[in-house]
Amino acid sequence: MSHSVKLNEDLGVIVLRYRGSADFAEIKNVFDELVRIPGFKPGLKLIADFRGATEPLTDDEIRKLADYAKSTDANWGATKWAFIASKEITFGLARMFMALTDDCQVTTHAFRNAKEADDWLELGIEMEKILEQTPDGTSPGSGLKEMLADENKLIYSKGKWE
Q: Considering only CA atoms, which of 142, 125, 130, 73 is closest in space to residue 102?
A: 73
Q: Which strand ranges, in their side-by-side order, compose the sheet holding 160-161?
A: 106-111, 79-84, 45-55, 13-21, 2-8, 155-157, 160-161
Question: What is the spatial distance between Cα 43 and Cα 35, in angstroms, rounded to a whole number?
Answer: 11
Run of H or E including 25: helix 24-34
Question: Inter-axis angle of helices 59-76 and 24-34, to 10 degrees?
Answer: 10
Which structural domain, as residue segments, surrounds residue 12? 2-161
The pLDDT tens digits for 21-73 are: 878 888 899 889 999 999 999 999 999 999 988 888 899 999 999 999 999 99
pTM over 0.75: yes
The count of domains in the chain is: 1
The pLDDT tens digits for 116-145 are: 988 899 888 898 888 887 666 443 332 333
CATH number at residue 67: 3.30.750.24
